[in-house]
Chain A
Amino acid sequence: MGIFDTLGKRKKTEIFFERDMTPDKNRKLYKDIDENLKVFKEYLADCDDLIIREFVMGNPDKTKHRMAMINIDGLVDKRLVHEEIMKSLMLHARQTPLEHSVGDKFLQLIKVGLLTVAELKETDNFGELVLAVLCGDTALIIDKLDRALILNTKGWEKRGVEEPQTESVIRGPRDGFTETYRVNVALVRRRIKDPNLKVKTVRIGRHTRTDVGVLYIKGIANPSIVEEVLKRLNKVDIDGVLESGYIEQMIEDNWVSFFPQFRRTERPDVAAAALLEGNVLIICDTTPFVLIAPTTLFSLFHSSEDYYERWYIASLIRLLRFAAAALAIAAPSFYVAMVAYHPGMLPTDLALSIGATREGVPFSTTVEALIMMLSLEVLREAGIRLPGPIGQTIGIVGGLVVGEAAVRAGIVSPIMVILIAINAISSFAVPNFSVAIGFRLLTFIFLILASVAGLYGVMLGFLGLTVHLVTLKSFGVPYLSPVISFKFTGLRDLVVRAPLPSLKERPEYTVPVDKTRMRDSRVKERGGGEENDNG
């Protein structure tokens, strides 16, 4: 992460503070190499990780081609610099007669004939040059030339493509996004080999200058959504973007809502599927979390595995998730409403046994539930932060020992412990973590409402929730689509997942340009044509 430190320590110089992130191109290079190096050192003064290597090209006895190679320690691939730049210019160049080539001809010679790096660029100003160096490229300044070369030698220490941590699946590809922008784009591109997959890169962050890519498939994604995404991204003016969460919060429709207006994923296959449905991807450098927009409430409950497994398994699992979500939001509030307001609803035996366990508990049911829920939140947070084995210990100590002790001590009733445990478990059965956390918050609100007005309070909460959800939009798309009109086509892939061959159309919510996802391709059992093949 050297790049951020470098930028952080930088003294303010004029070229880096343009609003549009393009470096100042007005400061042109000089012809004299010493002059150039002086300016360069001015820019990157007090940057100890800067490497400037001066050398003479070819045979030092015969030629007087002084050069300087500039890069940042740790951001470049050292092997590349040694083998492809230094060796080429210092050793292999000796076989080339260089004496007569000067000026442009000389530059051309180097570009075309000598340097064996894969990608290079020419520039005539300091702005681009400095920025390139900071991005991990190598700058090559040549004496007597007012142009310099930018050689792509990016190669910092990075994590390889690994299995994603947050969205594990049983069936499905194992690769996950990494922290490198280009790798991430490539992971998507590898799945969609289509010239219509467009990648538009925007630089965001005055200091971090993070690459943020907008990916979409032309001809599927609705142009107005793409436009809207780009428009909002271009409006962002912030000092730094360290994670896609920054982007998410800067460009979302409603920041008051508990509900994320983006889906986020670590899995390239999910990202590719989203693209195929007409969504827009926002890939942000330095984070493996990719944003998907627009999103709806229901798509947050969908997992990539739903489409890999057979349809009824997938449907059942989805139903389970929705049930779990309902439990996660409403279980404690329902319990409080029934125990404190409508005990008549409980079966007599259950009412008596709950009454018996509540006997001697000093707090009201609401307070009891709040105590349990808060301590569970604390446990969860502590468990996440601590390293694996200790985290588990916390879980066991907290869950078993403290829970059991609390019951023994008569502070909470055992039924409450069961209930809160079930509630917590079901809240994390929702595949999307940010939704799950949002639900945890809702649980508290519902609990308060239930303790004020019983089931009516719960219903008020539900009404308030639906009122909020129907007015919420994600990039102009109603958050509750497609359940906004009595049209049943969208219901095939919503709470259940219909057999794949019947999902002939893309979901409506992305308003895709091309709606058809597939043509009827199933082999008919009694089809005339197919049978001939066998005979």
Chain B
Amino acid sequence: MKLRKIILAGLLSIAIFAVSGCWDMVDIDRRFFVGNIGIDKAAVDDKLKVEFTMPIVRKISGEGGQGGGGGGSTIASVSTVADSIHAAARQMSHRLSRRLFFEHTRVILIGEEAARDGIEGVVNFLSRNTEINRRGRIMVVKGKAEDALKVKNEYETLHAMYIANIFENWMFCSKFIEITIDDFMKSVYSTKGNVLLSRLTPGKMDVSIGGAAVIKNYKLVGWLDENETLGVNFVLGKVRGGDLTFKQPGEDYPVVMSIIQISTKMELVEAGTYPKFKISPRIVADIVETPVDAKIDGDKLKSLEKDLEEKVNQIILKGVKKLQKEFQVDVLGFGEYLYKYRPDIWEYYREDWENIFPDVEVVVDTKATIRGIGASL
């Protein structure tokens, strides 16, 4: 009979679910949301010292605060020495009451020493792992990642949010590399390990992100400072804003310009023994500050524009030269440009590109336009 069949099926499925179900169920209050992962070189052997920070949920919420005694940090941080990140997470289960959970991880910090040894481990971990948020940030710490994680920030409840949200400010400075884990994975694969990462410098009370870490062949080879990074960002077309300051002859007080808009074009001018590239950024800027007595008229604007162009040319060339001569690593996309747009020429250079790149000739031709002059003439 139909009724009996249905009852039977119902009972059977309930039984199946009751006996077998809920393999993956871990309630939200049984998890630790890891915010940061810090990776340092351990003192012993070739091992890594991996550090996780996570919020203590009970202390964060207003109500919980009353019961939780108020005092103490809202952030817990644990570290362990292990062969790999995954192994470290596993080791933690001996010490923690809840499961470590990476889906809300925002920041991965790699210590300087660890980065010099190579970041293949991190890359591999990230590519196999399906938990970590691909929109998180990855950067190299000048010094030890540990120190950066020790900083007690007062601004945000979450340490990871504090670091990750600094990146939101790239609209205003453009002096670090705006890169997510996703972009990092993409470029690390397509360039076979040559990539620029942001540099994080830990302070006493806060951290500062600026400049870039140059990674060549999965290994950290050196740093770019803030201005060089700005130059590189100009080439990559990744500048969204930021100030440029320069003095005009005969003035004490500098002129400050704020970049509104920029687009960069790269083109191949000549393909001799060494190719010659022309980089032409188009910049629109506002005047933010001038010397008090400066009169701004047509001629003045012309000369300001000229100086601005000169300044940008200098910045770019400085950054490019450093990458060419000091690090000899093509993270500027010259090779990529040839591969994509001039595949025939690329065939010619491809074999020996690593040796050709340092001698690539670069000309910069900036065109600047001043649009806004503020509220004063």
Contacts and interface: CB of A to CB of B under 8 A. Distances in A.
A and B touch in the complex (CB under 8 A): yes
B367 interface: no
Contact of A343 (B6, B17, B55, B101): B101
B133 A344 contact: yes
Interface in B123-139: 131, 133
B22 interface: yes
A359 B58 contact: yes
B184 interface: no
Interface in B1-41: 2, 6, 17, 21-22, 24-29, 31, 33
A258 to B, nearest CB: 12
Contacts of A359: 29, 57-58, 61, 64
B26 A340 contact: yes
A287 interface: no
A213 B60 CA distance: 66
B361 interface: no
A452 B21 contact: yes
A357 B61 contact: yes
A196 interface: no
A451 interface: yes
A340 B25 contact: yes
A127 interface: no
B104 interface: yes
B161 interface: yes
B44 to A, nearest CB: 34
Interface residues of A, number: 26
A348 B57 contact: no
Nearest to B32: A355
Interface residues of B, number: 28
A356 B57 CA distance: 5
Contacts of B57: 352, 355-356, 359
A352 B29 CA distance: 9
Interface in B206-246: none
Nearest to A338: B28
Given A340-B26, A343-B101, A448-B17, A256 B61 contact: no
B22 A452 contact: yes
B166 to A, nearest CB: 16
B103 A451 contact: no
Nearest to B23: A453
Nearest to B59: A356
Interface string B301-322: 0000000000000000000000
Contact of B28 (A348, A365, A453): A365
Interface in A359-385: 359, 361, 364-366
A353 B28 CA distance: 10
Contact of B27 (A348, A356, A358, A448): A358
B158 interface: yes
A356 B24 contact: no
A131 interface: no
B106 interface: yes
Contacts of A364: 25, 27
Given A356-B64, A359-B64, A351 B17 contact: no
A344 B17 contact: no
A356 B61 contact: yes
A361 B27 CA distance: 11
A356 B104 contact: no
Given A356-B60, A359-B57, A343 B22 contact: no
A496 B22 CA distance: 39
B22 A361 contact: no
Nearest to A345: B103
B106 A348 contact: yes
B26 A453 contact: no
Which of B29, B133, B158 has the largest number of chain A CB atoms within 10 A? B29
Contact of B104 (A351, A358, A454): A351
Contact of B6 (A256, A351, A361): A256
Contacts of A366: 25
A343 B24 CA distance: 12
B284 to A, nearest CB: 35
A342 B133 CA distance: 13
Nearest to B55: A352
Kindly name the residue among B24, B25, B104, B131 whose own CB sees the greatest number of chain A CB atoms within 10 A: B25
Interface string A227-260: 0000000000000000000000000000010000
A419 interface: no
Contacts of A351: 28, 33, 104
Interface in B44-60: 55, 57-58, 60
A463 to B, nearest CB: 14
A344 B104 contact: yes
- Nearest 5 interchain pairs by C-beta: A344-B103, A356-B61, A452-B21, A358-B29, A355-B57
23 contacts: A256-B2, A339-B28, A341-B24, A343-B104, A344-B103, A344-B131, A348-B104, A351-B33, A351-B104, A352-B60, A353-B61, A355-B31, A356-B61, A356-B63, A358-B28, A359-B29, A359-B61, A364-B25, A366-B25, A451-B21, A451-B25, A453-B24, A454-B24
Given A341-B26, A351-B33, A365-B28, 18 more contacts: A341-B24, A342-B103, A343-B28, A343-B33, A344-B103, A344-B104, A352-B57, A352-B61, A353-B61, A355-B57, A356-B60, A356-B63, A358-B27, A358-B28, A359-B61, A359-B64, A453-B21, A454-B24
